[in-house]
Chain A
Amino acid sequence: MTENVMNNPASIIETQDVSMIFGGLVALDEVNFRVEKGSITALIGPNGAGKTTFFNCLTGIYTPTRGRILFKAPQPEGGDQVVPLRGLSPDKVTTLGVARTFQNIRLFNNLTVLENVLIGCHCRMKAGLWGALFRDKNTMAEENAMAEYSYQLLEKYGLSRAVNDLAKNLPYGDQRRLEIVRALATRPSLLLLDEPAAGLNINETRELKDLIHLIRDRENLSILLIEHDMSLVMSISEKVYVMEYGRVIAQGGPLEIKNDPAVIKAYLGEE
């Protein structure tokens, strides 16, 4: 397929004219969008602008009505390959290297913190039914390696003292953090955060900002976030996209966006 070419070779993900139509409602209208490799990009917009729908299209929960989503998937042998994501199921998308968190936390509440992260490792593990039944050497080695990897990950991001607690018993801020760590366990190259600061207080938001920076630098990934907290968005992101009624109405650096008349109009209305 010759069409699977990115407009900009520095992108990690690109959408080309992506539209999502529910019945008569145009939730996304020819969205052209890209995330530069290694950057932190933010997607903002008033409620109902289609931001979460866009996330759901990227991660395979919805299949866009039209358009192309191209993702630069790292190959196991090294190097990248551009793959179209449209039409893939969510688990395939995750396996390719796109991980996400959810607006309303979706942890596995009745499982322990470590198990939550271990489930994140699922797509990087191989053991099948026979491995589970016979517990051969390879399976056990893999189990232990993944348990250790999960523990290290939790330790790195400050959750190791709670490994055996049930996820639902964690404080809210830690639950948000655990959701991010769980997403990291899938070893993504692109991390999508859906309103990571929702419900956090000022201190927790500041910690979250550090965490996002830390993750980008340490794990060597690109981050795309939806957020309503403007101070967080403006201080953290290198590029901002603004959506309204399913269309991208502005894009650019945080400063440009702040002064963009279309954005001001969308948020505050016209004089």
Chain B
Amino acid sequence: MPRDFTTGINWGREFKSSFAAALWMCLLTCPMVAFKINAAENTIDYRWNYLIYVAAGTFILSGVWRFMLARRDYIRQSKAEAEFEGPAPDAPRGPAKTWVDVVMSSKYRNQGIGVGLLVLASLPLWASPYTINILITALIYISLGLGLNIVVGVSGLLNLGYVAFYAIGAYTYALLNHYFGLGFWVCLPLGALASTLMGLMLGFPVLRLRGDYLAIVTLGFGEIVRLVLVNMGDITMGPRGISNISPPSLFGLDLNKVVKPVLLEWVPTMSPNLDLNKAFLFFIMMAVVIITIVVVFRLENSRLGRAWLAMREDEIACQAMGIDRTRAKLTAFALGATWAGLAGVVFAAQVTFINPTSFTFMQSVMILSIVVLGGMGSIPGVIIGALVLILLPEYLRAFSDYRMLIFGALMVLMMVFRPGGLIQSVRETYVYKPLEGGAGGEAKK
């Protein structure tokens, strides 16, 4: 029966609720919107027409809101009904496929990824320095998001101090560069290692904690690291930060002096203002992100990854299955921190000046938002989440006054309509291929 969700709607009631919402909003905003004190003439200006705008706007938004809710409930219910009736006999079993799966399982997957990578790699030849710069930032956040995803999305350990590891990576490079003149390539693994060790150090005291308690301890950890950086002025220069961090080198070649003139001559579309060191960093970050994706994917679908998932789902049952909880937790913290360390080193090389204000709690919240908005535990979700949350504000500079407002509204809407994130994580399905002789073969898809 072709039935849509508008049939069950009681229009009168909906109208009334919207009207009530509009009235309520008018009352709420009346003092702010309708009265304006004219200080010059010492009178009050009444702006009743503003109230009408508020009322009209609220009325419409409230209607849209409930329309969307009704639609969501309708979809849920029809899904539940379909499940109740049982699947069609030839319907494939297993979790529903998202569009990402459709794309990723298509014939042209490899070609598609190849073309995408080529387009990305060619960006420095035609895009503006500004674009390259914010893309580096976006890539850094993808890496951060994927790292945090191991801890929060896969292992279910809420970490609100993730930015600490990012700071440790960045400061490892900045300090080693400042005091000992060590280069980017030496510091990249060192930064990652330092973060990993700090991850282990944080892991030990929180072994017994979970949920709210874990969140608070990690939050405290993030703040401690930041405060240490601020107050250890003798070493870290405190709030003044460390400047003149060297960009990455390519076999000691000065890219801007040697390569740039040649490139400018041959590639007319290249921006003359482009700092080739930034372009190089962009490639490095692309490589880091690709490695991160491969590693995180492999981890998730391994014995270790399953142990993390089991820990997320039920800690007691996970131990009863013979999983060493201590090890699972420590590896999750340490491996999650590694990526933040790598990203931190690249960040220090990108901005060449760091101080503790780059590593506040807001950054942790931002990274966590990327994971939650994108979809906990889903790699494509985290990538999309990072792109949305980092690139949108950059390109919507015109709305920068309302950025936090839009951000908050977006979060609320996401949690109501897509609680699983933009791209929900889908468990890998297994296909059973019977072999001759009664033996069975099992293959991953």
Interface residues, chain A, with chain B CB atoms under 8 Å away = 59-61, 89-91, 94-95, 99-100, 102, 106-112, 114-115, 118-120, 122-125, 127-129, 131-133, 135, 139, 143-144, 147-148, 150-152, 155, 160-166, 169, 182-183, 186
Contact of B320 among A94, A132, A147, A151 (CB under 8 A): A94
Known contacts: A151-B440, A163-B430. The answer to whether A123 contacts B321 by CB under 8 A is yes
| Contact status A119-B440, CB under 8 Å | no
| Contact status B444-A147, CB under 8 Å | yes
Known contacts: A122-B303, A135-B298. The answer to whether A100 contacts B320 by CB under 8 A is yes
List the 6 closest A-B pairs by CB distance, nearest first. A123-B322, A132-B302, A164-B94, A94-B322, A108-B313, A106-B317
| Contact status A164-B429, CB under 8 Å | yes
Complex CA gap A182/B304 in Å reads 17
| Contact status A108-B317, CB under 8 Å | yes
Known contacts: A110-B313, A165-B93. The answer to whether A90 contacts B320 by CB under 8 A is yes
Smallest CB–CB gap between A96 and chain B, Å? 9
Contact of B322 among A122, A147, A164 (CB under 8 A): A122
Complex CA gap A151/B432 in Å reads 8
- Chain B residue contacts of A147, Cβ below 8 A: 430, 442, 444
| Contact status A133-B320, CB under 8 Å | no
Known contacts: A109-B313, A112-B429. The answer to whether A164 contacts B93 by CB under 8 A is yes
A-B contact pairs, 12 of them (CB 8 A): A91-B325, A94-B320, A102-B317, A108-B317, A119-B309, A119-B318, A123-B323, A132-B302, A132-B303, A143-B444, A147-B430, A151-B430
- Chain B residue contacts of A120, Cβ below 8 A: 321-322
Complex CA gap A264/B74 in Å reads 55
- Chain B residue contacts of A124, Cβ below 8 A: 322
Smallest CB–CB gap between B324 and chain A, Å? 5
Binary contact track B409-445/A, C-beta < 8 Å → 1, others 0: 0000000000000000001011010000000111110
- Chain A residue contacts of B319, Cβ below 8 A: 60-61, 89-91, 94
Complex CA gap A132/B308 in Å reads 13
Contact of B309 among A94, A108, A133 (CB under 8 A): A108
Q: Bin the interface of chain B by size.
A: 35 or more
Q: Residue B356 at the A interface, CB < 8 A?
A: no
- Chain B residue contacts of A162, Cβ below 8 A: 93
| Contact status B321-A127, CB under 8 Å | no
Instruction: Give the most central of A114, A119, A165: most B CB within 10 Å.
Output: A119
- Chain B residue contacts of A99, Cβ below 8 A: 320
Smallest CB–CB gap between B394 and chain A, Å? 34
Q: Which residue of B lies closest to A118 (CB)?
A: B306
Complex CA gap A226/B211 in Å reads 31
Smallest CB–CB gap between A17 and chain B, Å? 25
Smallest CB–CB gap between B193 and chain A, Å? 15
- Chain B residue contacts of A186, Cβ below 8 A: 321-322
Instruction: Give the most central of A114, A124, A128, A148: most B CB within 10 Å.
Output: A148
Instruction: Give the most central of A120, A139, A155: most B CB within 10 Å.
Output: A120
